[in-house]
Amino acid sequence: MKRTRAALKMTGFVLLCAAIVPAQVLLMLVHKGRGAYVLPHVWHKGVCAVFGIRVQVKGAPYTDSQVLYASNHISYLDIPALASVIRYGSFVAKKDVAGWPVFGFLSKLQQTAFISRSRGDARKEAGALDTMLREGKNLIIFPEGTSTDGQSVVPFKSSLFSIAVQDGVKDMLVIQPVSIQVLSSDGRVPQTQDDRDIYAWHLNMDTELPAHLWGFAQTEGSVLRITFHDVLNVKDFSDRKTLAKACYDTVSKGLDYSQAA
């Protein structure tokens, strides 16, 4: 029964891609503005529907001006979950994601910005991110620099916030901290590591992404709470480290397990 459920979900995923990806490829050839985010937003909502990722939203994504969303990170599944709620935004991901089968290609259609840990690439990549900000694009970052099992938040790396505090950018940019919390997976509140790892995909696991997705597809899915906190004005912070710490504190406090359902 579980394998049949997974097979049906995978079939639905393939059909969803077949319906949307070709149109997005053609659109990206001529347009990369706000209109190019519409089909990816529909695709992400479809992925959530296919795999049973149900999102409870607390607060709302900030849309009054350009924004950088800073979220904790539990799984690659965070991406469709977030993008199903955030209509206009490009993710910032590690460079190796670009080489992932299927998902790497799909992430490029979302106008994802890829960064590496190499110091040699740092200046060029910072320039690319700066260009995206100066073009008015919203960015979505995972400043922990890794994914976790969702029990806690790893202190944020300040390097990703350096692009936000530059002259010419900080006066027009706000940052919205975002907390992602898994309320239930496969119909139950996560209590054990196995329960948490139904949704979570992190460095302490031996499971490859395709195998994890296949396992997740065999379940009833997960219920998440995504909390959009009050925005922080970048110009109110003296440097990237204090900004990163303020975002970290807000995101950490947003995980409330007393309300898990």
Largest CA distance in the chain: 57
Tell me how far CA of residue 156 lies from CA of 72, 142, 220, 237, in angstroms: 9, 8, 32, 16
**Structure confidence at residue 261 (pLDDT):** 44
Task: Please say whether the beta carbons of 67 and 86 come within 8 A.
Answer: no
Taking the C-alpha atoms of residue 112 and residue 104, their distance in angstroms, rounded to an integer, is 9
Q: How many helices (H) and strands (E) does the chain have?
A: 8, 8
**Contacts of range 103-108, beta carbons closer than 8 Å, 24 or more positions apart:** 103/76, 103/209, 106/17, 106/21, 106/43, 107/79
Q: Which domains does the chain have, with CATH numbers?
A: 2-259 (3.40.1130)
Distance separating alpha carbons of residues 138 and 161, to the nearest angstrom: 14
Residues 186, 220 contacting (CB under 8 angstroms): yes
One-character DSSP codes across 7-36 = HHHHHHHHHHHHHHHHHHHHHHHH--SGGG
Per-residue pLDDT tens digits of the chain, which is 261 residues long: 899 999 999 999 999 999 999 999 999 999 888 899 999 999 999 999 999 999 999 999 999 989 999 999 999 999 999 999 999 999 988 877 877 777 788 888 888 888 775 555 545 556 677 778 878 889 999 999 889 998 899 999 988 888 888 777 777 889 999 999 999 999 999 999 999 999 999 988 889 999 999 999 999 999 999 999 999 999 888 889 999 999 999 999 999 765 544
